[in-house]
């Protein structure tokens, strides 16, 4: 189900290009980490641990924020509605 993210071109500056639709997005550093992590098949726990280490964030809010990011990707059609992080 992560296949939809496989074709995204993500530049180090945060520019995201979807060659399938022609859509472009700008992502901050944490969004880039999440996009790449989801694309690489990381679990919810792995993603939250990566954010905790890289951005010095802690707590249940971080888990909620990751799940909210996934929902926003679903809303934009970049992930299917049935996608769930393990």
Q: What are the pLDDT tens digits along the chain (86 aa)?
A: 567 788 888 899 999 998 888 889 999 999 999 999 999 999 999 999 999 888 876 666 889 999 999 999 888 888 888 988 88
Q: May I ask the CATH architecture of the domain 3-75?
A: Orthogonal Bundle (1.10)
Reference 53, options 27, 24, 32, 30; nearest CA is 30
**Domains of the chain, residue spans:** 3-75
Q: How far apart are CA 38 and CA 5, in angstroms?
A: 8
Q: Which of 41, 82, 48, 78 is nearest to 65 (CA)?
A: 48
Write down the pTM of the prediction. 0.84
């Amino acid at each position: 189900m992560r296949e939809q993210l496989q074709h995204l071109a993500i530049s180090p500056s945060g520019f995201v290009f979807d060659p399938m639709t022609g859509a472009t997005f700008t992502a901050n550093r944490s969004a880039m980490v999440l996009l790449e992590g989801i694309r690489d098949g990381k679990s919810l726990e792995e993603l939250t641990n990566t954010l905790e280490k890289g951005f010095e964030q802690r707590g249940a809010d971080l888990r909620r924020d990751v799940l909210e990011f996934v929902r926003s990707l679903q809303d934009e059609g970049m992930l299917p509605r049935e996608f769930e992080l393990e």
